[in-house]
Amino acid sequence: MRTSMTEVDLQDGGAATDLAPDRPSVLRRYRWWALGLVVAIVATAVVVQQRGDARAADRLAALAQVPGVLAPLDAHVAARWTLPADQASVVYGRPVAGVLLGGSSGADGFHLQGVDSASGRLLWRTPVDVPNDETLWSWCRPVTSSSGTPLAVCTAGPDAPAALIALSSRTVWTVDPTTGTVLTSRRVRGNSTILVTDDQLLVTSGTVDGDWDVTSVDPSDGGARWSYRLPRGQRGTGQVQPQLLDAGSGRVLASMAGQASVLDRSGRALTTLSTDPGTWWVALRSGAQIGRGSSAGTGPRSVLLLPDLTTVPVSEQPLAVTIDDGSAPDVLLTRSEDGSAMVARSVTTGDALWRAALEVQSTIVVQGSVYVGTSTGIVALDAGTGAVRWTRDLDRPAETLSTDGDDLVTVVPPTSLAAYSRVDGTPSWHVDLSAADLPTQVASVALSTGVPHPLVWGTDGSVVVVGRATAGTG
């Protein structure tokens, strides 16, 4: 007697025919094997998918650690936290041990203050002594002590270079970011240059003979680690203070009046260069620098300083990369002298790799792609070849670019944000923050490397940090 389900063999052009009961079908004989094969294939696909998802999650997690990269975002935004005008300046700096630092002046004097970078909660407020003319702005930078402790270096001064140089002196503090305790306080001349790198605090000081010394200061106790006297440059160039530049890998470039030295962590000069008087150096990506100077009758001239300390003369100018995850490390980027093109060069030889006719407004480098905000839209290029991956016309300049990993985010002045897929430039979302339910009247919108969320500036000087809305935020 047959079961209710009859095994059949479908043959081309014929009807369904009963199989002989004493001869099991191929399907019946191998069905468990076939079922096992299907299960194995499905399981393999699931594992591959899981591994792919895990790799994608790892990439996004790594990208989230890059300064300037935003937390996941969409058009449904809400206020995360708000700072009043007298605390708002902390959003300009990078967080130190989860704390944003800055300074403010008021009726009760000048204070350094620390704000929790996740909640906006004021953690501490420390009074410090400064002359009245040093209360217009302040900045704080992260530094790591010799024992590996994260610290912050802060200073304050007037909001104009000329006024700053005219000061007789100003103060540099080293601060414990978690408690606000001032560990060291150092008075320096008004025309001294201060540089904070990952693990060094460097200060320049002039001598009575007109020379300049660069001193590395221990941020923990204020003691001098080493000092280096800059070679005498050309007189009468108009440069009144040295330039210090973080050259990466523990190196510092110190320049004054046509003489530049690259110093290692111990203060040893690795090389000394003679350049045009008044040459100003700018850091490029991948550990390279570009110096811009001029000579009588020749106009502007530039020189690349590569990581191996070789120099390459070029007819180009600096190009700022505001977000850089370190991918495509063999490529440095500049801009043509007339500003009409982006130029990519080898970081090992300085040779030109490719050139793209773009009027660059903003640039970020993420996972092997160069995303360029232009005067009319956004262009995605392959970092290695310069090949165009996609173009998105916006009929407006893209002066600011960021990313949350999935999308590119740009400010649409004065109060909107728009996002486009990193994969193909397809519009993802758009939001006008002036119509959002925020605790201030919106004046403008900005993006910052210090906070992984958009900033909404109020007409009263306050700042609202906004992010993706959740059940708890609206």
What pLDDT sits at residue 348?
A: 97
What pLDDT sits at residue 459?
A: 96
- pLDDT of 322 higher than 90: yes
Non-local (6+) Cβ contacts of 86 within 8 A are 104, 106
What pLDDT sits at residue 14?
A: 41
* Type of residue numbered 135: T
- Segment (H or E) for 189: strand 182-189
pLDDT tens, residue by residue, 78-112? 999 999 999 998 998 899 999 999 998 888 888 99
Please count the residues of the chain.
474
What pLDDT sits at residue 296?
A: 60
Peptide bond preceding 427: is omega within 30 degrees of 0, i.e. cis? no
Question: d(Cα 315, Cα 237) in Å, to the nearest integer?
Answer: 22
- pLDDT of 282 higher than 60: yes
- pLDDT of 35 higher than 90: no
Which residue would you say has higher pLDDT here, 42 or 149? 149
Question: d(Cα 326, Cα 415) in Å, to the nearest integer?
Answer: 31
Question: d(Cα 187, Cα 142) in Å, to the nearest integer?
Answer: 19
Question: d(Cα 322, Cα 450) in Å, to the nearest integer?
Answer: 12
- pLDDT of 162 higher than 60: no
What pLDDT sits at residue 53?
A: 52
Mean pLDDT of the chain: 86
- Segment (H or E) for 42: helix 26-64
What pLDDT sits at residue 55?
A: 58
Burial class of residue 253, CB neighbours in 10 A (0-12, 13-18, 19+) = buried
What pLDDT sits at residue 2?
A: 42
What pLDDT sits at residue 6?
A: 34
Burial class of residue 65, CB neighbours in 10 A (0-12, 13-18, 19+) = exposed
- pLDDT of 390 higher than 50: yes
For the segment 379-383, the average pLDDT, to the nearest whole number, is: 98
- pLDDT of 7 higher than 80: no
For the segment 209-228, the average pLDDT, to the nearest whole number, is: 93
- pLDDT of 12 higher than 70: no
Query: Which residues on adjacent β-strands are paired with residue 153?
Result: 141, 174
- pLDDT of 16 higher than 50: no
- C-alpha 176, offset from chain centre: 24
For the segment 30-46, the average pLDDT, to the nearest whole number, is: 62
Question: d(Cα 58, Cα 60) in Å, to the nearest integer?
Answer: 5
What pLDDT sits at residue 210?
A: 84
Phi, psi of 214 (to 5 degrees): -105, 125
Question: d(Cα 425, Cα 142) in Å, to the nearest integer?
Answer: 35
Sheet with 342-346, edge to edge strand ranges: 316-317, 331-336, 342-346, 352-356
Closest by Cα among 415, 403, 404 to 370: 403
Question: d(Cα 119, Cα 463) in Å, to the nearest integer?
Answer: 13
What pLDDT sits at residue 92?
A: 87
Q: How confident is the model at residue 171 (pLDDT cuts 50, 70, 90)?
A: confident
pLDDT tens, residue by residue, 356-379? 999 999 999 999 999 999 999 999
SS3 309: coil
Q: How is residue 189 written in tokens? A: 């001349």
Percentage of the residues of the chain whose pLDDT score is greater than 90: 68
Q: How confident is the model at residue 11 (pLDDT cuts 50, 70, 90)?
A: very low
Of 132-146, 194-208, 298-312, 437-451, the poorest mean pLDDT is in 132-146
What pLDDT sits at residue 133?
A: 56
What pLDDT sits at residue 185?
A: 93
- pLDDT of 399 higher than 80: yes
The secondary structure of 46-114 as a DSSP string is HHHHHHHHHHHHHHHHHHHTSTTPPPS--S-EEEEEEE-TTTGGGGGSPPBTTEEEEEEEETTEEEEEE
What pLDDT sits at residue 20?
A: 43
- pLDDT of 18 higher than 50: no
What pLDDT sits at residue 4?
A: 44
Sheet with 224-229, edge to edge strand ranges: 194-196, 201-206, 212-217, 224-229
What pLDDT sits at residue 19?
A: 39
Q: How confident is the model at residue 13 (pLDDT cuts 50, 70, 90)?
A: very low
Of 22-26, 119-123, 340-344, the poorest mean pLDDT is in 22-26
What pLDDT sits at residue 234?
A: 64
Do residues 461 and 85 lie in contact, with contact meaning Cβ atoms separated by under 8 Å?
A: yes
What pLDDT sits at residue 129?
A: 86
